[in-house]
Amino acid sequence: MARTTRKRSTLANRAIAASAALILGGGGLIAVNVYASAGEGWTGQSPDQTQAAGQSVSTIDCPDVGNELPEVPQQERGSVDRELATLDTQITTAYQRFAENKERVESDPSYGQQQILAPLRNERLVIIQRIVSLIERGAPKPQNLENMAPCTLRADDADGGGDQGQDGGQDQGQDQGQDGGQDQGQDGGQDQGQDQGQGQDGGQDGGDQGGNDNGGQAGNGPEQNDFVDIQSVQPNVNGPRNRRGASKGTFSTDCGKNENGKFNPDNVIVAPGVSNGAHHMHDYVGNQANDAFASDDDLANGDTTCRNQGDKSTYYWPVLRVQNGQDENDAQADGGGKDQNVGEIQTPAQVTLNFVGSPVSKVTAMPRFLRIITGDAKAFVNGDANANASWSCTGFEDRQLKDKYPICPEGSQVVRTFKFQSCWDGQNTDSANHRTHVAFADENGSCQNGFRAIPQLVQRIVYDVPPPVFDGENPSVFAVDSFPEQLHKPITDHGDFINVFDENLMNKVVNCINGGRRCR
């Protein structure tokens, strides 16, 4: 698959001028998050409701069953994950049907109810009942999962919407306002700050509030309202100070920038054994055996792009594209154009992978094959409780955004930062929802409830992309790949990691961090 690294050109210069006009004109863009969590309140959803004809709706909002799963027997986890992936495919198919009939849905709410939401509810119910049966084979029967079958049609908040409540109740929007993650500083080193605001309230005026037409050549975003001028955001990175006993070292691993062009729309953590389980394309660095069907043995025996061959870990994240009217090689493929991810995939200008310590204690070794997901690919409809990717610009990395893409000034580059969970339960390499076996440190930097500190992975990915242009002869915007119904929102950004360090190298990592050194 071809990849491009965008350099500034005549188009970029026009983009800078257009962005300046966007920043300076109009009533401004206030970075506010009132997304409702589709997983909240699902046990008490109201009867089917009907939206008023003519109201704008932008996406399908379904409760995330995976986030609500209780204990799943180890032997059934793969089967449950495959059923969860089927739920995602059902939503994707229903969203495509909705997108093709959006005007009719808005003018005739009964059409959306009867032709989209009701069939989707019935399809979801069958799969959820299968999940319940699988769990029952070795654990107590989960209660009320069937109540999560109904979905709603909702507007992008920029459309003045909120849930349209067609099939399963109206979510009550609320600002989660929590980072949940510990900011380890822009160099991956010692500034172990807790992100504050992260764009929900951190942005000043950044652009015109117009452009509510689900802009972007993908047809489902991003919109003008998804961008904010980084210079208008106040510094918002703070955090705990190092205490006596802190582990102050840093271990860096160099695994390249995906020069090999390894892409696929799989997710071996969340959807093992399912091709196109992610419905968006991932960049991979490190382990080259990673696809939906890779076993631990496959990963252990795989090649790696990491300079230190003792690190066969896999690091992956959604690709960043410039939607500029140019097709990529995957324009007709799953994860690409078939899932409404269009435009030229961007090769990062820089990728840094650092493992850092704890501000309050020494760290212990990660177990081999530990799986960690940070961020939430469905945060646009789930709410931001698990959102944890940050967006910024070089030279402004004391200003971090979660739910906005940054508009960077001339000479500054776009930066994505992922700070992974730094506390481990001491027993499990994975969990039923792929989250509860690891956790973030608290605001003081401590691990709670019997969890122990492990080296924290900090990924920093830099791109040379032009500022967005929403009008004119050559519109151009950048955005991450996403599930189609997530509308390419920046809050859906996420990163994945599987530890495949050999024992000797992991011991070196721990000793380096605990000894306060900087190592490679």
Q: Is residue 375 part of a domain?
A: yes
Cis amide linkage into residue 409, ω under 30° from 0: no
| Closest C-alpha among 520, 502, 192, 503 to residue 361 | 192
CA-wise closest residue to 155 among 203, 228, 66, 223: 223
Query: How far apart are alpha carbons 402 and 492 in whole angstroms?
Result: 9
Residue 166 located in a structural domain: no
What pTM was estimated for this model as a whole? 0.83
- Is 55 inside any structural domain? no
User: Could you list the pLDDT tens digit for every one of the 520 residues in the chain?
Assistant: 545 444 333 333 333 333 333 333 333 332 322 233 333 333 333 334 444 556 789 999 999 999 999 889 999 999 999 999 999 999 999 999 999 999 999 999 899 999 999 999 999 999 999 999 999 999 999 999 999 999 999 998 654 434 444 343 333 333 333 333 334 333 433 343 334 344 444 444 333 333 344 568 888 999 999 999 999 999 999 888 999 999 999 999 999 999 999 999 999 999 999 999 999 999 999 999 999 999 999 999 999 999 999 999 999 999 999 999 999 999 999 999 999 999 999 999 999 999 999 999 999 999 999 999 999 999 999 999 999 999 999 999 999 999 999 999 999 999 999 999 999 999 999 999 999 999 999 999 999 989 999 999 999 999 999 999 988 778 899 999 999 999 999 999 999 999 999 999 999 999 999 999 999 9
Question: Is 315 part of a structural domain of the chain?
Answer: yes
Q: Is residue 99 part of a domain?
A: no
CA angle 179, 183, 187 (to 5 degrees): 150
The reply to whether 507 falls in a domain is yes
Does residue 153 belong to any structural domain of this protein?
no
Measuring CA to CA, how many Å separate 342 from each of 282, 461, 476? 13, 20, 12
Q: Strands (DSSP E) along 307-387, which ranges?
A: 314-318, 320-323, 344-345, 350-356, 371-375
Range of the domain at 241: 10-33+175-519
Q: At residue 119, what is the residue type?
A: P
Cα separation, 453 vs 447, in Å, equals 6
Domain count, the chain: 1
pLDDT at 170: 34
Answer yes or no: is 403 within a domain. yes
